[in-house]
Structure 1
């Protein structure tokens, strides 16, 4: 007699789960709203830039110390990136973003009342931790809300939100500190309001459940899934020189302005940083239809030209060339950032995306934190023109190497 085995009948809950439709895509306006926390935290990241001259006058410290204060931000950011990407992929975006926004608010309070270098370093450290969480979990949240069908839009919005916030911070600080009393208190009270609005967005954001980020240590150097290493390499090779160039302008730009234009006006310093990041934002919309490798190549060229203009500006005492260098540096960072994020968004699954974003930013911010510090102390020793020349030459070579890396990997693909 033939043995006939009947397949087990699925239970009612199992049948319902199998037939359940995929979650509906979030409305388009939520994709834009999801980018707001990135903007708000990046406003804080550079809001201190025009105020350094004020603190230098009141507290008293050298250009080398100034770049060391800036480097505390990088230390906090990189330390945060070692944890926040993996943590966000495993437990979700919201549990990482909420504490980050609260830390950013604490940093605002310290900045507002800072009366020592130690206080400035502590505030920058906390701001760096908050930014590290946002560039990993916050940018991944934009992609989560956008869904698979809007990956390129998500990369563009996350990248431009970062650049726009980084530019609005110094502009806001420069204008408020020159026109209103109690400059530091006013600037960071306004930023605290922006962070409160960002917190409200995070608490209501329609985020999917975490997909789980795989095994391994919770604290580790972030990476990408097997087979995506080439994408990460190309992104870092161009993004790193670009963001290092803008970090130099943020940390030593006011000193360059003082030397070339003879001005310490904080609105001028803030406007310089704003124009740089406005260029970073605008260029991303201009090149958004290009393939990621094409965007990266353009970014490498932009950074090389920026460094050439910077060196020429210092030796010729030309404000016009300094302006060109600022615009080109912003464009170089913007395209390097967009190209790198686009490669990762297109090839890395959602369950590892925050960690991949963290890996890209670790690769960019390590040189962005160390090289401007070296340039600052070198400038104290040999003078600002010689220090700037050495920095600009080195970074131009690094950016050109990054462009060649993109070409080599693309030809091999």
Structure 2
């Protein structure tokens, strides 16, 4: 139940992806403008992360999640009635704010309800809820928009209903408010305790390139696919995004018993191969290669995300966990906001082949650097925290003495 609000909000996060071709036709805007609309989602998300992680750790998960879901419902209403670029920007901004709250407070709530002895399982469920929702959104939007009338309205009416069920899930969620408020600034760049910085660096090194790769597919993938296949099918565009995130979900279950260092190395390798295949796809006009690139991008994000969350869950105390989740996502989404926008404007000025090629080369280099960081610190990222640890080990990693009730409701 705790993972459903994460899934519901992430369905909204990418539900607009197959619909941009309709808005481009009706409103009229370039690929560069499209990536700017996408970037406002990143801006809202990053701004939210500056506050939501710290706020959630201090006042509780529910007081952060409920306003976020209300904002997501407002985004649905704006999307459903959008007739200008400004409206799309506002809707994406609201969506980003809601997602920022969910990736910090919502994912921490999953860990809280699971209990300290099931932290690895919680990391897996939270990560899969995020990527599955992100993939289900564009598929659902693509199918509904081509089978039902008023496509840009119907999609968001259905999503509003899903968000309504998420509100009920939050209200029923068995999580407690923090025992005592902590001191310090309420809004700050989220971070981790000094002794846990290496875990954040290792997670970021792989997660940031991975989520940037999937962000490119979401923002410019439909345009590339329509050009290569000479089709404007929204179902096909949504299916490619769904397959990408379904891969991201499935691969996490596949590797859940592997050491974290192996998971992170596999994630960096997936992103590197994704960018290699992307360059081949745009330079040979190969739609199959583009689809393979998207699947590999999903692999890179899924493994980087699972590895990063597992590193944090295994070492960060519960009262700092939401902020730690926010820190990981700030680092990842910052890169995911910058590079795809640059690729969009390069595609407008140099052509989409050259723009995508330069993007792929730059991200490939960052993924290789991430792999080298993991190799250099393999001993710090190793261990088997993706498995179920003994209860005593779980208590040790939370900093609680044996025999305490921990943070389980």
Smaller-chain TM-score bracket: over 0.9
Distance in 1 between the 2:344 and 2:285 partners? 19
Tell me which residue corresponds to 1:278.
Answer: 246
Q: Does 1:41 align with 2:9?
A: yes
Residue in 2 that maps onto 1:114? 82
Alignment deviations for residues 56-95 of structure 1 (CA, whole Å, 9 cap, x no partner): 0000000000000000000000000000000000000000
Match of 1:97? 65
Q: CA deviation at 1:188?
A: 0.2
Report 1:5-404 matches (<5 A).
33-211=1-179, 214-404=182-372
- Kept in 1, the 8 Å contact 2:61–2:177? The answer is no
Deviation sequence 1:191-240 (CA, Å, 0-9, x none): 00000000000001000232557432110000001200000000001000
CA distance 1:123–1:412, shift in 2 (3 Å)? closer
| TM-score between both structures, scaled by the size of structure 2 | 0.92
| Deviant stretches of 4+, over 3 Å | 211-214
How many residues are paired up?
381
> Residue by residue, what CA displacement relative to the aligned partner does 1:148-198 show, whole Å, maximum 9, x if unpaired?
010000000000000000000000000000010000110000000000000
Contact 1:211/1:350 (CA < 8 Å) preserved in 2?
no
Question: Does the CA contact (< 8 Å) of 1:212 and 1:351 recur in 2?
Answer: no
8 Å CA contact retained: 1:213, 1:351:
no
1:293 shift after superposition: 1.7
For residues 342 and 115 of structure 2, the distance between their equivalents in structure 1, rounded to whole angstroms, comes to 42
CA positional deviation for 1:323: 1.2
Q: Which moved more, 1:301-310 or 1:315-324?
A: 315-324
2:174 match: secondary structure? coil
Q: Structure 1: how far apart are the matches of 2:76 and 2:269?
A: 36
- The TM-score normalised by the length of structure 1 is 0.91
Structure 1 residue 294: Cα displacement: 1.4
Deviation of the 1:407 alpha carbon: 1.1
Unaligned segments of structure 1, at least 5 residues: 1-32
Distance in structure 2 (CA, Å) of the matches to 1:289 and 1:253 = 32
Secondary structure of 2:189 counterpart: coil
Q: How far apart in 1 are the matches of 2:106 and 2:228?
A: 38
Taking structure 1 as reference, are residues 154 and 412 closer, same or farther at Cα in structure 2, changes over 3 Å only?
A: closer
Distance 1:145 1:246 in 2: 29
Shift of 1:412: 6.6
The partner residue of 1:406 within 365, 374, 379 is: 374
For 1:293 and 1:105, the matched residues in 2 are separated by 39
Partner Cα distance (1:226, 1:250) in 2 = 35
